[in-house]
Amino acid sequence: MKINLFSPLPPTRSEIARQTTNLLPLLARKAEVIVWSSKKQWHPEAGTHATVRHYEAAHPPWREISDADVTFYQTGNDPRYHHAIWRISQQHPGIVILHDLKLQHFFSGLVFHELGLNRRQYLELVERHHGAKGRVLAESHLRGLLGTEELAEQCPLTGGVTENALAVVVHSAAAYHSIPEETPVAYLPLGVGAAPRTQETPPGSSRSSTEVYQISVFGFLGPNRRLPVLLRTLSNFPQRDRFRLDIYGTIEGEDKIHQLVARLGLNDLVTMHGFVAEDRLDEALRRTDLVVNMRYPSMGEASASQLHLWQYALPALVTRTAWYETLPENTVAFVRPEHEAEDIQAHLTSFLDEPEKYRELGRNGRRHVSENHSIEDYANSLLEVAERVPEFQTRWIARDLARRAGTAMNAWSDSSTIDAFLPRVAQEIAMLVAGNPSTSTGLAKSG
């Protein structure tokens, strides 16, 4: 099998890029893989198991792209890394691997960063998937009257990515149930690479009553990562000097976070490292005692970063919402969205009293990952999905014919006439797709 995989690649600052690198050797065992990158440079490691090709979204090499048996599109919420992938997917139907359930941030970013979607196109897209009310909300957003987070709750715009897909791969039950029934969807637990070797703290060990513990936050840190809440809560915590907070990753609104740290008097406790190379992050996670991985509102899909930190057997505070809410109670420490400060302080107090209880959460999480999120199983499942492409293509053609027929009928018929014709139209489409066009009615010929 010959596979196209459109994806970010390292050194792109993306967890999806890391996952693609881990997937390639496994996919390459059973398929010829061509990875398409919109960037002109990538780490040599990516080319070890696959052919890596650069493409320009404005002038894609269609003949070469069409030569593959199946095309996968790694789709995330960052417009910088996924705008070119989306543009190709709209012209060449394939299998969309959905890493975020709410894509409003992606499409809004395309408009504000002028990445190939103008305001009129954006509003039409919102209206197509969320109706006239959605368009009104989107217009308010463009005028600066409604934030992206609030708009995403009412108009997630997931359909803007999935509407042309042959099939969709998701990583959570919530995402599975959110995809329209006419689109084939596969629910595959997200896979992660081999676990790093860690030097775990032996059960029952403890530190002195004055020793300092390390808290870490890492990843792309947008507004939903709750950094201001964490900083204010830490500043009011009576034993805050028992903790140090390290922040790794790109921070949206970094200047404001710096100002907040200074205003709260946390300069001695908080260090912002920015984006760091993987080896530095590995070293940092090995020194970490507790991770804060809160997300509210959640983008809805499984968290690769949560799976990654579990590989280090690290305990984590997570928001009790969306995919995180489905995690086993013995693997994470939950924070309620409506009681964030209260729950964070309660966990910090409990951690100081019983650190071993939290270390056990991390160890349970590591077992959970090894049992349920094998990247080998994930790669094999993707290949099984790829083998069903002929079936997906047949269904896609039927959907496309139905859409075209509906558009044509709307132009020359009223609703009562359309209702009378619909059963026959559906029958003719089914026969056409099955390879048995009717010769008795002439409808198939008139098209």
DSSP 97-150: EES-S--HHHHHHHHHTTSS--HHHHHHHHHHHHHHHHHHHHHHHHTTSS-HHH
CA distances from 14 to 21, 52, 77, 278 (A): 11, 18, 11, 11
Query: Among the three residues 347, 376, 405, which one is the final residue of a domain in this structure?
Result: 376
pLDDT tens column, 14-72: 889 989 999 999 999 999 999 999 999 999 988 999 999 999 999 999 999 999 999 99
Query: Among the three residues 129, 160, 192, which one is the final residue of a domain in this structure?
Result: 192
On whether both 49 and 142 belong to a single domain, the answer is: yes
On whether both 307 and 335 belong to a single domain, the answer is: yes
- Write out the two tokens for 32: 């010829």
Please answer whether residues 230 and 347 qualify as being in contact, where contact means their C-beta atoms are separated by less than 8 angstroms.
no
On whether both 226 and 347 belong to a single domain, the answer is: yes
Is 202 among the domain residues? Answer: no
On whether both 364 and 332 belong to a single domain, the answer is: yes
On whether both 242 and 273 belong to a single domain, the answer is: yes
At a CB cut-off of 8 Å and minimum separation 6, what does 399 contact? 182
Please answer whether residues 16 and 371 qualify as being in contact, where contact means their C-beta atoms are separated by less than 8 angstroms.
no
Residues spanned by the domain of 425: 389-446
Q: State if pTM tops 0.85.
A: yes
Strand-pair category, 290-292 with 213-218: parallel
User: Is residue 33 classed as helix, strand or coil in its secondary structure?
Assistant: strand
CATH at 240: 3.40.50.2000
User: What pLDDT, on a 0 to 100 scale, did the predictor assign at position 444?
Assistant: 33
Is 417 among the domain residues? Answer: yes
On whether both 393 and 361 belong to a single domain, the answer is: no
On whether both 132 and 233 belong to a single domain, the answer is: no
User: What pLDDT, on a 0 to 100 scale, did the predictor assign at position 266?
Assistant: 98
User: What pLDDT, on a 0 to 100 scale, did the predictor assign at position 443?
Assistant: 31
**Region of residue 204 (phi > 0: left; psi between -120 and 50: alpha; otherwise: beta):** left
Is 197 among the domain residues? Answer: no
Structural domain count, the chain: 3
Please answer whether residues 321 and 297 qualify as being in contact, where contact means their C-beta atoms are separated by less than 8 angstroms.
yes
pLDDT tens column, 82-127: 999 999 999 999 999 999 999 999 999 999 999 999 999 999 999 9
Distance of alpha carbon 291 from alpha carbon 318, whole angstroms: 9
User: What pLDDT, on a 0 to 100 scale, did the predictor assign at position 414?
Assistant: 67
On whether both 171 and 261 belong to a single domain, the answer is: no
Is 219 among the domain residues? Answer: yes
User: What pLDDT, on a 0 to 100 scale, did the predictor assign at position 222?
Assistant: 87
CATH at 67: 3.40.50
On whether both 367 and 393 belong to a single domain, the answer is: no
Is 236 among the domain residues? Answer: yes
User: What pLDDT, on a 0 to 100 scale, did the predictor assign at position 357?
Assistant: 97
On whether both 153 and 50 belong to a single domain, the answer is: yes
User: Is residue 358 classed as helix, strand or coil in its secondary structure?
Assistant: helix
Helices and strands of the chain, counted as H and E runs: 19, 13
On whether both 129 and 240 belong to a single domain, the answer is: no
On whether both 412 and 363 belong to a single domain, the answer is: no
Is 18 among the domain residues? Answer: yes
CA distances from 388 to 56, 356, 405 (A): 29, 47, 26
Is 382 among the domain residues? Answer: no
| 396 Cα distance to chain centroid | 24
Is 208 among the domain residues? Answer: no
User: What pLDDT, on a 0 to 100 scale, did the predictor assign at position 400?
Assistant: 79
Residues of the chain with pLDDT under 50: 202-204, 436-447
